[in-house]
Amino acid sequence: MSKDVIIACDFDSRKEVMDFLDLFTGKKPYLKIGMELFYAEGPEIVREIKKRGHQIFLDLKLHDIPNTVMKAMAVLSRLDVDMCNLHAAGTIPMMEGALKGLTRPDGTRPLLIAVTQLTSTSQEAMERDLLIQKPMNEVVMHYALNAKKAGLDGVVCSPLEASDVHRCCGKEFLTVTPGVRFADGDTGDQARVTTPAKAREIGSDYIVVGRPITRAENPVAAYERCLKEFLG
Ligand code: C5P
């Protein structure tokens, strides 16, 4: 199974993202395009970055009624991205609808993964705001099993949960893990975080890293450091 570092391109304009990508001469990192860039620039930015030769995780975290998600996924599938996602909280029928929508007439499709609980959500916030009175780990494993039952390829979760997800859902079930920080870096708004090296030890398949790379003084060096620590 391929392991990789995915850079979260959380920029709000084409210019900013292109200036950032131009720093990576000769390298084609796997990129995550999220709501900020997609809502600012629309689907054209996805086509343009894909044309530059990057693999793309389109992180739009869909969550709606099954029919709406199915139809939206059918449209996203035409963008030729490599990975898409949705919220497992949308239930198994919604995830099944998404998978159906994402599958192209020739049977191919991007990977589809489910967000379990956001890595910014703490146990306390989950109990207080969502009225979920269970341990975080149990909630994440339950959502992961639901995603597996629906036929998805994996989940987005904290790196701290990656080994338990693999134990529950199998080695091949992907764990894509944001909430990664260098040992000497800022946590920011993330609550359940760890370092790239620790994420490797726990068994993450892909780490998603945003600000520690995009806001670094030298983003290319920060990316290389992440790769080195994560891939060993
Ligand atoms: O800057 P930072 O490394 O915190 O970026 C993490 C990225 O991963 C952000 O784009 C955020 O939207 C995304 N993400 C997350 N937690 C999830 C799913 C996605 O932090 N559960």
How far apart (Å, rounded) are the C-alpha atoms in residues 152 and 140? 15
CA angle 100, 204, 184 (to 5 degrees): 135
Which residue's entry shows tokens 């904290």? 158
Average pLDDT over residues 134-142: 96
Task: Tell me how far CA of residue 191 lies from CA of 163, 178, 180, 188, in angstroms.
Answer: 18, 11, 10, 8
Q: Mind listing the pLDDT tens digit for each residue in 159-193?
A: 889 999 999 999 999 999 998 999 988 777 777 78
How far, in Å, from the CA of 139 to the mean position of ligand 1? 19
Q: Is 184 or 70 the better-scoring residue by pLDDT?
A: 70
Q: Mind listing the pLDDT tens digit for each residue in 187-231?
A: 777 777 899 999 999 999 999 999 999 999 999 999 999 999 999
pLDDT of residue 2: 82
| Annotation says 61 is catalytic | yes
Ligand 1 atom nearest to CA at 10 = 10
Tokens standing for residue 182: 């260098």
Residue to mutate, 6, 119, 211, ligand 1, most ligand atoms under 8 Å from C-beta: 119
Ligand 1 atom nearest to CA at 189 = 4
How far, in Å, from the CA of 155 to the mean position of ligand 1? 13
Q: Is 209 in the pocket of ligand 1 (CB under 6 A)?
A: yes
